[in-house]
Amino acid sequence: MRTTAALYLCMIPLSLTIGGCSTPASEQVAAAAAVPLTNTSWRLLQLGERVVDNPAGPAAVNLQLDAQNPRVTGFAGCNRMFGGYSLNGDELKFDDLGATKMACAEGSRMKLEQDYFDMLANVASWKISGSSLQLLDSGGASLAMFAADAPTP
């Protein structure tokens, strides 16, 4: 009886150790730290190969996917944007995109906005690493890189 009890006591730490090692700790930390795709304000950092000067704030080019319904909203550089999206695993498509019609004083911001909408039309999938979102085309090439600004409830 004593041997059986001692054997069980020795097996508990062993089973906890084995169970805890089924997923590497680095993957567990990465999964816990990952920012959700939806209900996060994503601020544009890079569009294609071009690094975008886009500091956080009300004029930052950004997007947010609503988790409750398939709507995307954000700011495209000169105008507020809105539209729909479809999400199936890592596949992502934007559709019916629209924007307000405000004039933009800077020609470079208008060009950025047009390039931004062109990029969104070509999105086929997405990938999150830490607090960075990458939008990809159908061939897996990076179209844009975003940083998570802050999750919203």
Residue-range domain boundaries for the chain? 1-30, 34-151
Q: 119: which 2 tokens?
A: 């990029």
CATH pick for 34-151 out of 3.40.50.150, 2.40.128.270, 2.40.37.10, 3.60.15.10:
2.40.128.270
Among residues 112, 145, 107, the alpha carbon closest in space to that of 126 is found at 145
Nearest to 94 by CA among 130, 126, 56, 48: 126
Walk along the chain (153 residues) and give the pLDDT tens digit of each residue.
444 444 333 433 433 333 444 434 334 334 445 799 999 999 999 999 999 999 888 889 999 999 999 999 999 999 999 999 999 999 999 999 999 998 888 888 999 999 999 999 999 999 999 999 999 999 999 999 999 986 555
Is residue 67 within 8 A of residue 40, CB to CB? The reply is no
